[in-house]
Each structure stands twice: as C-alpha cells, then as structure tokens.
Structure 1
Amino acid sequence: MKKFMRSLLSILAFLSALSALGVYFTNRLMYIKKKNDDLILERETTAGRFLPLDFDLLPKREVTIQSPFGYQLKAVLAEPHRTNLYVIICHGVTENKTNSVKYMNLFLNRGFNVLIYDHRRHGESGGKTTSYGHYEKDDLKAVVDWLKIEKGPLLQLGIHGESMGAATMLLYAGMLEDSANFYIADCPFSSFEEQLAYRLKKEMKLPPKIFLPFANIFLKIREGYSIKEVSPISFIQNIRKPVLFIHSKKDDYILPSMTLELYEKKQGPKKLYLAENGVHAQSLNENKAKYEQAIDEFLEEFVFADDMI
C-alpha cells in the first residue's frame, strides 16, 4: 500500500509539474510582454520615422471599430487624398499603431489614404490576450468591413502587415475572404507551430516534439484554438490577389525560409523582395530605397496596371 501511495504521489507530482509548465508557457504566449507605448513613440520619433508636427497636421480622424469579440479597436484614418485608394496597416506583436506610421507615410506618398490600428491587447485597443493571428484575423475583417461600409463599393484596398501583422493578414485573406486588391507581407511566419518549435529550441532549449503537443492542450483549453490552426502556409493557396512578400536575409527571429515557403506555395500574381540588411522587421528601416523600389515595382505591375485609378 505504501509503495502504491508513493507511486501515486510521484505521478501526481509529475502531472502537477507538467501542468505548471503548461500554464507558464501558455501565459508567456497569451500575455507576451509588450513594448511600452511611450518608448515606441520615443524610438520612432528619435529615428525620424514619426514626425509629431507632420502627424498633427495630417488630415485624419480617430476611429473606434467594434471587434466581433466584444472589445473596441482603436484606429486612425488618414485621408489627405481625394481618392478611393486605401491601405490598412497591421503592426507586429508587442508594437502598436505608432510603429505603423512609417509604412503609412510610404503609402501616403504614393497617393493612398491609410488606416492604422492597434491589434487586440496592444496600444489603445481592448482584448485580454494575444493569439498571433487567430483572433486578430477576425478583428482585421471587422476593420475591412467597417472601411467598406464607410467608403462604399468603389473602395480599392491594399493591406500591409509586418511580422504577426503579416501572418494575420494572410490568415484573413486565406481563411476568411480574399477581398483586398493586393497584400504586402513583411516577415511573416508560415506556421506558428514551426515558429514556436524554432524559438523553443533557440531560447528555452526545450524539445518541441515533446513539449508542444502538451502545451497545445493547455492553449486549446484556455484560449479555444490550437497552435496548428495558426498556419498561413495551410491557406496561402486560397489567396488569388497579388501578394508582395518581403523578408530580411539576416532575420534570425522569423527565418526568411518561411517567407520563401509562402512565396513558393502562393498561386497567381506574386513578387518577392529579400532585403540585404537588417534583422527582424527592419527591412524598411535598413533598406529604405530598395524597399520603396520593391513597393513601386509591385504596385506598377499588379495594382496601377489594372486601371484601379
């Protein structure tokens, strides 16, 4: 009897340790530490990517959009141009819409009006957890739907996403509706499962084949989705509209091979730009002229050539 009790206690202790590890890991995912909003503003201002005076003078308005999950998404709609050309910018994880201003300026300079917004649990938007595109894709649909209603049937729309924002955009287009006229995916992951496996081995030295299935159970219980579901590569073939894929060759956070996989599997019109300089999400910052050239060539070939304007 004592032997049985010792064995039972050992099993319970093991399960308790696994449970604690599962909760710890899913907490790190769900409540990933965000960058401070003031520090993002200071960083972008110091780098000259956010110019407070220019931003203040820009014809724009603050917008609140209702998420299908009950919270509010905070956005800014900049409309200096009398045109039906619009771009929505999706920022990366731990960032906010201030980080999107550099991309906003890029498209404003090319005659587009632009909407930037905070993802759930980021910036001024509501939402308690981060889901790396799973729930964010439905929020993006809410943003797109709002803009369609606001601007009417003549709206011509592009979506630009960075990192998690790029994955969110691809999931939106591949799983929900391929309704934009074009997409620009800057350093997305192709599979959240593969990305987690890579980060687990690199940062935590944990065996992903053993740990991920267990962690997935906890994520499913706590958040209602599985890691495998967050997989742009599984749905990229559903996107028929033009996609420009961008990635830095030196990115060691999300490997450029992920963008290459997405590019190869994407059917229909597409282009690829691999930046020589910069690490993760730094392609524009470190390769401005060539980044803009890649944008211009893509727009010229797939957007303006289709008589959108």
Structure 2
Amino acid sequence: MKKKLLLAAPIITTSSIYLLSRLLYSYAFKRSDIVPEPGKDIIGYAEDYYYYLDWLESQPNREHWQLKSKTNHHKLNAIWLPAKNPSKFTVIISHGYKGNNITMANQAHMFHHMGFNVLMPDSRGHGDSCDNYISFGWLDHYDLLAWINMVLHRIGPKSQIYVLGVSMGGANVLMLAGEKLPTQVKGIIADCGYSSLNEEFEYLAHKQTKLPVKPILKIMSSINKIKNGFSFDVVNSVKQLKKSTLPIFIIHGAKDEYVPTYMAYKNYNAIPGKKKIWIVPNAGHTMAFCIDPREYHKQVADFIKSTMN
C-alpha cells in the first residue's frame, strides 16, 4: 500500500503542475477587454493621465485604420492622428500589456505637438483588434511592418518614420529592430521593454511564488505553440537587436519592479549601432513620462534630431 502511495505522489505533482500551467497560461495570454485602472504608482498623476485621454478623444481629424494580419487574417485596428500641418514625420506607438492604443495618449500628445503624424495600433488580443490570445510582442512586431507600409502608402516615399513602444510595446519595437525594414524607418524608442519573454516570466515568477518555475514555463510554452504558433524561446529582444542597423533609444525606470533595470542594459549592450540609454531616477515601470514629461520630451527630441542626418 505504501509503495502505491509513493508511486502516485509524482503523478499527482505532475498533474498539479500541468493544471497550474494551463491556468497561468489562460490568465496571462487570454485577451481581456477590460483595461485596468491606473496602478498605484500613477495615482498621483491621474489628472494628467485623464487629461491626455480627453485630449485624444477631442481630436476631430483622427481616423480609424484597419488591416488584416498575415498569419491568421484577423482584423487589426489603429487610430491615425494626422499632424496639424502636412508632415513627412510619423511615429507609430505600441502600447503595453492589457492596455490599448488610447492608453498611449500622453505619447501621442507629445509627438503631435512636435509636428508628427501619429499612428496608434491596438496589439493582438487588445482593444479593437481581434485574436483571442496575446502574443507579447512577437506576432505584433510583424504587424508593425504592415502598419509601416500603410504609413508609406498614405504619406509617401519621403516619409520619416519612428517607432516607440512602452512595456510590452517596448519589447515589440525592439524585436521589430531585427527585421529588414524600409529605409524610411529612422529610429526606435523602447521604454521599459524586456530582454526576453522567458527571462521576464522567470523574474516575475521568482518574485511572486516558490513554485517550480522552469517546468511551468516549459508547459506554458508548449501550450502557446499550439494556440499562438510559437514557443517562448523566440520572443527575445536581445537576439533581434543583434541584427539591427537602426539607431535605438532605451528608456527605463531605475526603480522598475516589473521589468528590472538590468534588462535595459542587456538590450542596450546587444545593439551594434548608434544607441542611447536613459535610466530615469526614481521612476517605476512606465513612469518616466509621468515623473518628468518635459525631460522625457527633451530626451526623445534630442534622439530624433541625432538621427536626422
């Protein structure tokens, strides 16, 4: 009887890990149409946050763009806000995890006042874009290529395009940097992007639980291969950055507890070409703009000027 119990124990443990892995996958990857309220870090800046949302909502000339993804032909949506005066400069802004395009209203406001056209896509599994699962930037970075082509069709071959992403969007644009891009793409700005999906999940899991992380991630990766068509191993900003030829600006909070600052340095060190890094003192995750919007504006503007050769 004792032998039977001993033999059953590992089976129960394995089953429990598998069940837990499925639950965690569902929690992390299934789309959510409820945008979380601003976190505790942003409470002191809530008035500014809603000011930017109201500003974006009030823009009379904004348009809704749509395209179909190449991988599954799902509909993807974006907001297009043309510059006040005709401009060859455009920024494409990628939002964070379980956010949507309007949560990037502060960045849109900044670039609009710099004279840029602004394109704000909803990533897969977010906002008005389809797909039942979130791809954490991997499939999204291919979608950014399609959005870039739409901008070129609208503005023309003299376009000057920059791409900015925050958090998951930061990883999205860093992975885009490793692709063969049109010459009109002049630079990439990544705010709080992670170095790889495996590393990010391991960091959060070790921080929040004492469960066996690696077996759980391996099972989750296998589930994702079925649901999304890729394993976690490919979602790697560092590997993509090593192939990049673009100027890249890394922004990161010195007190980021969700994407640790060491990942910013890993990303930065992987960039072979022109690069800049700004570690923002006292800033938590995605808080650099909130803490000092003027300095944020200046840093971004200086980077863009440095690429206009």
Q: CA deviation at 1:123?
A: 1.1
- Of 62, 65, 70 in structure 2, the residue corresponding to residue 63 of structure 1 is 65
- The aligned counterpart of 2:127 is 123
Q: CA deviation at 1:52?
A: 2.6
- The aligned counterpart of 1:280 is 285
- Of 265, 282, 294 in structure 1, the residue corresponding to residue 299 of structure 2 is 294
1:239 aligns with 2:244: yes
The 1:110–1:145 alpha-carbon spacing in structure 2 relative to 1, beyond 3 Å, is same
Q: CA deviation at 1:224?
A: 2.3
- The aligned counterpart of 1:25 is 24
Distance 1:14 1:263 in 2: 40
- Residue 171 of structure 2 aligns to a residue whose secondary structure is helix
1:183 aligns with 2:182: no
For 1:119-158, list aligned pairs within 5 A: 119-158=123-162
Select between 6-15 and 72-81 the one with higher mean Cα deviation: 6-15
**Which consecutive residues of structure 2, in runs of 5 or more, have no partner in the other structure?**
none
Contact preservation (8 Å) 1:71, 1:127: yes
Contact preservation (8 Å) 1:74, 1:124: yes
Q: Quote the RMSD (CA, aligned, Å).
A: 2.5
Contact preservation (8 Å) 1:50, 1:101: yes
Q: Deviations over 1:201-238 (max 9, x none)?
A: 11122233443334333332343211111000011021
Q: CA deviation at 1:54?
A: 6.3
Contact preservation (8 Å) 1:104, 1:114: yes
Select between 187-196 and 15-24 the one with higher mean Cα deviation: 15-24
- Of 272, 275, 285 in structure 2, the residue corresponding to residue 267 of structure 1 is 272
Distance 2:15 2:206 in 1: 23
Q: Deviations over 1:128-156 (max 9, x none)?
A: 10010121112222211222222221211
Q: CA deviation at 1:3?
A: 8.6
1:46 aligns with 2:47: yes
- The aligned counterpart of 1:257 is 262
- Residue 92 of structure 2 aligns to a residue whose secondary structure is strand
- Residue 127 of structure 1 aligns to a residue whose secondary structure is coil
- Residue 22 of structure 1 aligns to a residue whose secondary structure is helix
- Residue 66 of structure 2 aligns to a residue whose secondary structure is strand
Give, as a single letter, the amino acid of the residue that structure 1 aligns with 2:16.
A
The 1:29–1:296 alpha-carbon spacing in structure 2 relative to 1, beyond 3 Å, is same
- Of 109, 112, 118 in structure 2, the residue corresponding to residue 108 of structure 1 is 112
Select between 219-228 and 163-172 the one with higher mean Cα deviation: 219-228
Q: CA deviation at 1:15?
A: 3.8
Contact preservation (8 Å) 1:81, 1:113: no
The sequence identity of aligned pairs, in percent, is: 25
The 4+ residue runs of structure 1 with deviation greater than 6 A are 2-8
Contact preservation (8 Å) 2:250, 2:268: yes
- Residue 181 of structure 1 aligns to a residue whose secondary structure is strand
- Residue 73 of structure 2 aligns to a residue whose secondary structure is coil
Q: CA deviation at 1:26?
A: 1.6
- Residue 273 of structure 2 aligns to a residue whose secondary structure is coil
Distance 2:180 2:12 in 1: 43
Contact preservation (8 Å) 2:170, 2:192: yes
**Which consecutive residues of structure 1, in runs of 5 or more, have no partner in the other structure?**
none
- Residue 242 of structure 2 aligns to a residue whose secondary structure is helix
- The aligned counterpart of 2:220 is 215
